[in-house]
A and B are shown apart, each in its own frame.
Chain A
């Protein structure tokens, strides 16, 4: 049995008749961090959002090709998007906590799923916030509004919120680009702690960040996957000229 958890084969995506993804073949092993890099507008977010079907929300999107999560076709007519998104969670560029208390933010998914046991919920809140490395900062005001936190803390609460529904894969779209350097490095630490237990796919414009945290890095350009390899190889010894140009800052 292969340990590939997520596979994309010949994935094309069109916004209207504009082709934004031009046949992506990219697979992910279970666990570890993969960084998606590439110049602005190359389709990183678009690709990431196909993985938990967030593009369904945009009108006039056409998708061809196959994406399989543990062998199951995500775009099969019988696929349950709600279930998919429970297993493949997502964190966005702009921290988007709900306007509720920190506690409620974290357990919202579970509570709506019908979990009532207070002890269990308390335990999940603590565990998730610890995993997201924000517990110590918020543990004394769990019942205050999450909107009162700093951007970096909000983002980690958002990560905890995703962890609380115990997904297998976590997608992050530039999770630190709206944050200051200190908060960014805290998020990086958080992700490094999570990489043993989750499959993490993160988009970043910050090449240093990719080199610091990612096990693997995929380089996108103009809607195509140029190259994917161990991060070390991408940065030290890329196979493609385009990758080298991008890494060395010659464009993008």
Chain B
């Protein structure tokens, strides 16, 4: 028999080992992407449009498209997810209706994104006749994102102790006031973490977009901000290849001579963007939390 102390040491050692391995793999991956990708980066690469046959193209439009889609998808899905989560966790009684909704959300959240993409293609692109467009893409992303976000917000609400709810109600706050003025502010940091994670997933998503937002990135005129003009960056009806789709496309059928370099560069940009987004959101979350909770 090993004594408990040795056992403990072995267990801790193993856990450290596993954790270390995970960190190592992550570092290796990040390191590889950044080392092969960073040298490709330049202002030109980040802003210039892509070239199909010649070398020296950039990813400016794809990068912009990625952000635009992300923002649109978040603008649509966040309010719905927040409302759904608040309803499910704070108001709904535990009965078969809510159980059914929860099960549906579980199933939706485990759908592979290709399936969501194909559904988006059939429904938004074909049936609703939205074509390959930002809007189709944003709706597909919403479908992809909504269940995950709802669950993560519901989990954030769950982390707030019931004693906080009782405290609010016992002060003579209404249910709604308790939720919006006590529970939500307390849950903001945790909700934000969920939003960041889902934003990362959305930003890097390719499969759901290939057949919805499309695989082409028409030239944009960044001086034209009228959303009804076809070359306006804001136009939601234009096809919009994103960075992640671009990477997929270059690797499967890219014929420009510098395809490898562009793919590495794009990957680095994708990773950097997600990291940057992470830090910015975390900072914002802290600020928001302070604002909500102090005079």
Main secondary structure of the interface of B (DSSP, over half): helix
Contacts A99-B186, A112-B177 given; does A165 touch B294 at CB 8 Å: no
Question: Among B93, B166, B174, B186, which residue has its beta carbon within 8 angstroms of that of A92?
Answer: B166
The distance from the CB of B220 to the nearest CB of chain A, in whole angstroms, is 44
Contacts A59-B93, A99-B293 given; does A112 touch B173 at CB 8 Å: yes
A201 to B295, CA, bound (A): 32
Contacts A82-B174, A101-B293, A112-B177 given; does A54 touch B169 at CB 8 Å: yes
- Do A112 and B94 touch across chains, with their CB atoms under 8 A apart? no
Q: Is B20 an interface residue (CB 8 A)?
A: no
Question: Among B161, B167, B172, B177, which residue has its beta carbon within 8 angstroms of that of A83?
Answer: B172
Interface residues on B, range: 20 to 34
- Do B293 and A92 touch across chains, with their CB atoms under 8 A apart? no
- Do B294 and A104 touch across chains, with their CB atoms under 8 A apart? yes
Interface residues on A, range: 20 to 34
- Do B170 and A90 touch across chains, with their CB atoms under 8 A apart? yes
Contacts A98-B167, A104-B295, A112-B181 given; does A82 touch B186 at CB 8 Å: no
Question: Among A59, A96, A104, A112, which residue has its beta carbon within 8 angstroms of that of B163?
Answer: A96
- Do B166 and A57 touch across chains, with their CB atoms under 8 A apart? yes
State which residues 1-48 of A face B: CB under 8 Å: none
Question: Among B165, B168, B172, which residue has its beta carbon within 8 angstroms of that of A86?
Answer: B172
Q: Is B107 an interface residue (CB 8 A)?
A: no
Contacts A94-B163, A96-B164, A143-B294 given; does A54 touch B170 at CB 8 Å: yes
Q: Which residues of A contact B182 (CB under 8 A)?
A: 98, 108
Q: Which residues of A contact B163 (CB under 8 A)?
A: 92, 94, 96
- B150-193 contact mask (Cβ, 8 Å, vs A): 1 or 0: 00000000000101111111111110010001100110000000
Q: Which residues of A contact B173 (CB under 8 A)?
A: 82, 108-109, 112
A204 to B131, CA, bound (A): 69
- Do A162 and B170 touch across chains, with their CB atoms under 8 A apart? yes
A215 to B178, CA, bound (A): 34
State which residues 134-189 of A face B: CB under 8 Å: 143, 158, 161-162, 165
A94 to B165, CA, bound (A): 13
Question: Among B164, B172, B293, which residue has its beta carbon within 8 angstroms of that of A82?
Answer: B172
| A residues at B contact (CB < 8 Å) | 52, 54, 57, 59, 82-87, 89-90, 92, 94, 96-101, 103-104, 108-109, 112-113, 143, 158, 161-162, 165
The contact sample of 10 A-B pairs, CB cut-off 8 A, is: A57-B166, A57-B169, A83-B172, A86-B171, A90-B170, A92-B170, A97-B167, A112-B181, A162-B170, A165-B172
Closest 3 CB pairs of A and B: A86-B172, A90-B170, A96-B163
With A59-B94, A83-B172, A89-B172 given, name 9 new contacts (CB 8 A): A57-B169, A86-B172, A92-B170, A97-B167, A98-B186, A101-B295, A109-B171, A112-B177, A158-B167
